[in-house]
Structure 1
Amino acid sequence: MHGGEAKKLLGFPPNSHPTLSQVKAAYKQKAWETHPDRFPALQKSMAESNFKLISEAYSSLLVDQRYCSPAQASYVRVVRTGVPRGTGKSHPFLVKAPFLALMMATVSLGGAVAARTYLKQRKEFPSQHPFLP
């Protein structure tokens, strides 16, 4: 979204240079006016799209005016995208390793307990049936 369009959505003239506090105040006011929870069910989808536009305008104004870096503005875009854009590498194995270790321990200990119980029961109650062990 371009700066002029973002300023217009937040209620500023396109050639103005608002301060950070003015941008925040305008965003809060517009967000309050267009929040989807304030509208009936029939108008909720329209209010939701307006709210997303205002959130996008706010984040683009922050980046355009250099109030924050694009990495910081990605957290402002949580409303629009639903997920913040993290920085750095992800390590899926480090996430899966504890789960895999827990599963392996459970299976091995469960198998050992089942085998011990089977042998104990077989010793205490020998079977006379020729097809059973």
Structure 2
Amino acid sequence: MQRGAAKKLLGFSPNSRPTLSQIKAAYRRKVLESHPDLFPAHEKSQAESKFKQVSEAYSCLQEGTRFRSPMEGTYVRVVRTGVPTGYGRSNRTLVKTPFVLLVLGIVSFGGLNATRAYKRQKEAYPSHNPFLP
């Protein structure tokens, strides 16, 4: 269905720009007017076809007023730092996390090696001073 026909079916002028809330309100009004369960048996087929047209018009207009995602139709740029800048902002945690983990690993293993070296030195050269470890 074309947007002009959909607007006309929901009660808007063809060159108007209704908001999503206005479209929803018009759709609800038209659904209550044309719902097949509200009509007698001999008029149900006409009401059902009208109901389907209203639903199609609503889906056509709703698709047109949805906000596009920032990634739609654009490419992800990678700046010199190597940080992907998608969705309008840079995600620096993707870059910082591996480096933080590397630093923590190096510090912890370095601390273990320093502890072992201290214990070896203490065994090799024991201190007779009771206040020193």
TM-score, L = length of structure 1 = 0.49
TM-score, L = length of structure 2 = 0.49
Give 1 or 2 for the bigger CA radius of gyration.
2
